[in-house]
Amino acid sequence: MVDWAGLAADLGYAGQAHLTRDFTAEPGYQAGYAAQIGRAVQAWSDPKAWEGDIGVMGDATPAADVGAMLIMEMVLHGWDVAKATGQEYVCDDAVAAAVLDTVEAQAELFRKYQGFNDIVPVPDEAPVFDRALSLSGRDPQWQPPR
C-alpha cells in the first residue's frame, strides 16, 4: 500500500502490478520513494489538484477523495512504521479528525480488498486518532515484541 500511496500521490496509477510488487527489494527504493513523495507533496500543494476527477484503478474518483485517502495512507502507515520501530507517533488533532472521516468513509472498501483488518474495539471516549486506528484494524495499544 505504501507504493500505491506514492503513486496515487503523484497523480498517477500504473496498474494492479504495484499491489503485489515488493518495491523495498529494489536497489535505491528509499531514495526513489522519497523523491516520489516530494513530487507528490508539490503536486498536491496546488489547490487545482484537489478539483475534478482522477482515474484510479479504472474508475473516475473525485480528486479530493484521492487526496484524503493519500493523507490517510501516509498517516496510518507512518504510525505502523513508528510503532514497529519503537518510536512515538504524534498526530495533530485536525489531521486525526480528517483521517477518521476518511477511514469511516472507506473502511469497508479497504477491508474488502484486505487493506484493513477487522475493527479493534476501543472505548467510546477514546481519542479521535485511536478511533481512526481501530476502525482501520489497528490496535492503538499495540507494541512491538521485545
pLDDT in tens, 96-117: 999 999 999 999 988 998 889 9
Cα separation of 106 and 103, whole Å? Answer: 5
| Total number of domains in the chain | 1
pLDDT-derived band at 20, boundaries 50, 70, 90: low
What is the pLDDT at residue 19?
53
16 is a domain residue: yes
Whole-model pTM? 0.79
Query: SS3 letters for the chain?
Result: CHHHHHHHHCCCCCCCHHHHCCHHHCCCHHHHHHHHHHHHHHHHCCHHHHCCEEEECCEEEEHHHHHHHHHHHHHHHHHHHHHHCCCCCCCCHHHHHHHHHHHHHHHHHHHHCCCCCCCCCCCCCCCHHHHHHHHCCCCCCCCCCC
For residue 22, what are the domain limits? 2-135
Summarised one tens digit per residue, pLDDT across range 49-97 is 999 998 776 778 899 998 999 899 999 999 999 999 999 999 999 999 9
User: Which cell is 96 given?
Assistant: 486525526
Cβ-in-10-Å burial (0-12, 13-18, 19+) of 31 comes to exposed
pLDDT at 2 (0 to 100): 45
